[in-house]
């Protein structure tokens, strides 16, 4: 059984601070990594890991594969400018971007990162489920995004992990907002009046939903949008139900 996680790199307008003990979208998005960091000096590499240690960020193909040793993934991070004993650092052994990714349209906007060792769940990093291809995402269902991106369009990022709720939007409504540029691999979430949305620095962050049975599912990955929190312009996410076959293929 492979492990999947997401670097949570977003902060949304009108969001709430998410203390470590009360951040469902982060702590329960387990196949999740809280932070992906670039270091100025390469650390020493480790052995090639066996299959079973992957994270699922949205990472564009222009990343130079020769710089893998200068990337670190953190699990359980709460403050960006401060380390804690609860953090679990991981080195990146490989990056696999989707072969159909289109930089102009942002279609197929997903990649897998292979970590240097298995991810062990903890009190600050609990598993979330990958949905099945047939998993039904009900429009209007409230889901959550978490992270440290800008609190408003053009604003600074946050040092403290934040969380905010967004509502799933129908494909037809979102296509009308974006002049029919929303592909079947995309999912929209937000509110008609804006205010709550992903923003600069959020790419790769998770969209997670809690089912009535208490299980959390990873349904989207922050991909793109027009501005931040603008009325009738929703956040656009990579739709995970359309990507699970590719994820299974890469990690099998």
Residue 153: give its domain's CATH number. Answer: 2.40.10.10
pLDDT higher than threshold 90 for residue 252:
no
Model-level pTM? 0.78
Kindly state whether residue 192 falls inside one of the protein's structural domains.
yes
pLDDT higher than threshold 60 for residue 44:
no
Kindly state whether residue 158 falls inside one of the protein's structural domains.
yes
Kindly state whether residue 86 falls inside one of the protein's structural domains.
no
Q: Dihedrals φ, ψ of 177, to 5°?
A: -65, -40
pLDDT higher than threshold 50 for residue 10:
no
pLDDT higher than threshold 50 for residue 33:
no
Listed residue (48, 27, 62) closest to 210, CA to CA: 27
Helix (H) or strand (E) holding 27: helix 24-27
- pLDDT (tens digit, 9 = 90+) per residue, 141-174? 999 998 788 888 888 888 888 888 999 999 999 9
Residues whose CB is less than 8 angstroms from the CB of residue 130 and which lie 6 or more positions away in sequence, other chains included: 4, 31, 217, 218, 240, 244, 247
Query: Sorting pLDDT into bands at 50, 70 and 90, what band is 18?
Result: low
- pLDDT (tens digit, 9 = 90+) per residue, 121-137? 777 777 778 999 999 88
Query: Is the model more confident about 196 or about 8?
Result: 196
Sheet holding 35-38, edge to edge: 35-38, 71-75, 88-97, 111-115, 54-55
Kindly state whether residue 89 falls inside one of the protein's structural domains.
no
For residues 53-64, average pLDDT: 54
Query: What is the pLDDT at residue 73?
Result: 86
pLDDT higher than threshold 90 for residue 201:
no
Residue found under tokens 């709720």: 165
Query: What is the pLDDT at residue 76?
Result: 85
Query: What is the pLDDT at residue 50?
Result: 30
Tell me the average pLDDT of the chain: 76
- pLDDT (tens digit, 9 = 90+) per residue, 80-121? 888 888 888 898 888 889 999 999 999 999 998 888 888 887
Range in 91-95, 171-175, 180-184, 227-231 the model is least confident about: 91-95
Could you tell me the residue range of the domain that residue 185 belongs to? 141-242
Number of folded domains that form the chain:
1
Kindly state whether residue 12 falls inside one of the protein's structural domains.
no
Kindly state whether residue 116 falls inside one of the protein's structural domains.
no
């Amino acid at each position: 059984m492979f492990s999947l996680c997401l670097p949570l790199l977003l902060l949304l307008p009108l969001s709430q601070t998410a203390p470590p003990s009360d951040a469902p979208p982060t702590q329960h998005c387990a196949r999740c990594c809280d932070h992906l960091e670039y270091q100025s000096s390469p650390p020493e590499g480790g052995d090639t890991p066996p299959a079973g240690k992957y994270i699922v960020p949205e990472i564009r193909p222009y990343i130079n594969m020769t710089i893998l040793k200068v990337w670190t993934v953190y699990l359980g991070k709460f403050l960006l400018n401060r380390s804690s004993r609860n953090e679990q650092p991981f080195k990146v052994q490989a990056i696999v971007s989707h072969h159909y990714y289109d930089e102009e349209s942002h279609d197929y906007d997903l990649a897998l990162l292979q970590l240097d060792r298995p991810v062990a769940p903890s009190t600050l990093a609990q598993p979330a489920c990958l949905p099945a291809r047939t998993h039904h995402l009900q429009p209007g269902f409230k889901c959550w995004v978490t992270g440290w991106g800008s609190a408003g369009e053009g604003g600074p990022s946050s040092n403290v992990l934040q969380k905010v709720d967004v509502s799933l939007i129908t494909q037809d409504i979102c296509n009308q907002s974006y002049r029919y540029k929303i592909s079947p691999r995309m999912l929209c979430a937000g509110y008609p009046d804006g205010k709550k949305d992903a923003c600069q620095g959020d790419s790769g962050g998770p969209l997670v939903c809690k089912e009535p049975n208490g299980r959390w599912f990873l349904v989207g990955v922050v991909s793109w949008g027009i501005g931040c929190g603008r009325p009738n312009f929703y956040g656009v996410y990579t739709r995970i139900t359309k990507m699970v076959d590719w994820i299974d293929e890469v990690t099998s």
